[in-house]
Amino acid sequence: MIRRNTQTTAYWRESFKINLDDLEYLGNYLLEKETPQTSEALTLALIEYRCQREESKIRSELSKGEIYQPSKAYRTGQQVVFPAFEYTLGTITSVRKGSNPEHGEFDVVQVMLEGQAEPREFAGSLKTAHRLSRTDGETVETGERLQTPRDLYSQYGGSVRKALVEQLRASTQPAFVQDGDQWLTREALVEVHVGHLNIAEALIEMKTQPITTTVLLTEMGLPTEVPEHLRRFSTNAGLRQDERFDDVGSGTEPSWYLRRLQPPEVWQTPSALRYEPIPYDRLALGVEMLQQEWELDDEWSTDGISVDTPMVVPTITLNLIFPHLRSGTLPLSGRAQGFFPRGLGRSTMITLVDGRWGARFAAFVCHEGRYIAGLGGWLEQHKLPVGAIITLERTREPLEYVVDFRPRRPRREWSRTAEIRDGELAFALQKQSINCDYDEHLTVAEISPGALDAYRQTLATERVPLSRLVRQLAQELAGKSPQGTVHAKTIYSAVNLVRRSPPGPIFAILATDSTLRSMSGGYWAMAVRAS
């Protein structure tokens, strides 16, 4: 049997490394194709190349001598190729008779392999079966009983593709250019100079709305003798490399906008929204806590798993917590992620329609940051409190949504108010005017947002453990209740005044802290210690 390394798991999982020869081959492959190729197509081409290269090596080595077969007879001075030793060529130095109870009589063939100092001995004229014997019909040329490159891709393509994309991005000779999941060599691109980019900027600024690549191509003046797909790819690549532009499209075709026309939180996550994951034991969360976690629908819960929201679902609801009110954003929770289409860029531009007044304004779905930016003015206009229940409703337009809340007659109600007192986060009960439906467990007002920002920074700088903060706030809030209890959702909302965290880690601390005890209905109290 002829051993092929490319047919083994060890080759693709352990020893496979992409080298300059591979990259040069793929560069030529792209030039021959003359069209952008996906990373999948390039990965398959690389696997095919590795298999073909190994076959060529096998044929070259086998042409130097006869392939070793234990069943054949050999003579002194004969040249033999040994597939089991990486197709090393060997010269037979002697042949003598041998005998074995299992195999009977056979020849002992002494061979000097190239690159080795001492000869080795092999069997010849063997009458019994041997693992190195080739079966009838198995040839290098036909490749019978071999996995095809497509078969190999189905097994190892994922890891090979990941490694290849990293190398394509890092390579400078040859240099590759990426647009989404399409690739070309840099030398194949049409020149898109600063003049072309200035035209694109002027067009977008004049229209004050995103413009697709198709529209830009009609105005930028690239040479028309160049195939349209190369002009399109080159334009997209040039715009992506220029910091003035951002792809805010929702489909496979980019739609270009100007970064300076976007709110700053599109490009820099507000400090109140920055979440640093911490490990915690999800097994500590009981059924009641899991239900509360699901109700809160925090965008960072359960590792941010996206839930596909079918098009037949017209409306979703969101809970407004302090970090989003402070940042002028809405959460892109698991259920909300499937509500919005996503293009090739970091954000998707949508139009929101004020459900109260009908005004239209732009917003940006920031997929990686898991929030919707551009709602600061809307939240301020309607004076919505922490805990407000926000609704998003689809319209007949694909990228237009009605944003609304559930209004009610304004009235002053008792509410928790947060402030920094003696260097610690403290709470008091004060009356607050509320004009919408809200979750009473989440609502909390702040006296000085700037003071909360400073305290948040202090906690981060001093690396105060989340467990200490949860225990402190649980004690503070329970002490303000006549029953001496506080709801788990309230602790979650209070923690998020000064540290961004989904409910999971907070609830796990509640469940495992011996200074706290669970009451009915999701409430918690300080544990009573025996004197």
CA–centroid distance for 190 within its chain: 31
Contact of 494 with 418, CB cutoff 8 Å: yes
Q: What is the pTM of this model?
A: 0.79
Contact of 383 with 431, CB cutoff 8 Å: no
Distances (CA, A) of 480 to 427, 429, 484: 8, 8, 7
Domain boundaries, the chain: 5-62+143-176, 70-124, 189-261, 271-526
SS (H, E, C) 231-242: HHHHHHHHHHHC
Distances (CA, A) of 229 to 36, 188, 212, 226, 272: 8, 11, 14, 8, 43
Please give the Cα distance from 442 to 324 (Å, whole number): 13
Q: Which two tokens stand for residue 32?
A: 């021959």
Please give the Cα distance from 160 to 275 (Å, whole number): 32
One DSSP character per residue, 171-202 reads -BTTBEEEETTEEEEGGGSPP--HHHHHHHHH
User: 271-526: what CATH class?
Assistant: mainly beta
Please give the Cα distance from 190 to 186 (Å, whole number): 9
> In this structure, which topology does domain 189-261 adopt according to CATH?
Arc Repressor Mutant, subunit A (1.10.10)
Q: Which two tokens stand for residue 71?
A: 């069943």
The amino acid at 466? L
How high is the pLDDT of residue 307?
55
How high is the pLDDT of residue 311?
54
Please give the Cα distance from 382 to 376 (Å, whole number): 10
How high is the pLDDT of residue 132?
57
How high is the pLDDT of residue 308?
56
Contacts of the segment 89-94: beta carbons below 8 A, 24+ positions apart: 89/61, 89/64, 89/65, 89/113, 89/114, 90/65, 90/114, 90/120, 93/119
For the chain, 531 residues long, give each residue's pLDDT as a single digit of tens.
Answer: 567 889 899 999 998 999 999 999 999 999 999 899 999 999 999 999 999 998 888 888 778 888 888 889 999 999 998 877 877 889 999 999 988 888 888 999 999 998 888 999 999 888 887 655 554 434 444 445 789 999 999 999 999 999 999 999 999 889 999 988 899 999 999 999 999 999 999 999 999 999 999 999 999 989 988 999 999 999 999 999 999 999 999 988 899 999 999 999 999 999 999 999 999 999 999 999 999 999 999 999 975 455 555 555 789 999 999 999 999 999 999 889 889 999 888 999 999 999 999 999 999 999 999 999 999 999 999 999 999 999 999 999 989 999 999 998 888 888 899 999 888 899 998 888 899 999 999 999 888 888 999 999 999 999 999 999 999 999 999 998 889 999 999 999 999 999 999 999 999 999 999 999 999 899 999 987 544
Contact of 160 with 48, CB cutoff 8 Å: no
Q: Which residues contact 13 (CB under 8 A, 6 or more apart)?
A: 156, 159
Please give the Cα distance from 354 to 377 (Å, whole number): 11
How high is the pLDDT of residue 130?
62
How high is the pLDDT of residue 514?
92
Scanning 7-115, the segments in alpha helix (DSSP H) are: 9-10, 20-33, 39-62
Q: Is 2.30.30 the CATH classification of the domain at 70-124?
A: yes
Please give the Cα distance from 420 to 455 (Å, whole number): 8
Distances (CA, A) of 364 to 187, 218, 367: 35, 27, 9
How high is the pLDDT of residue 361?
96
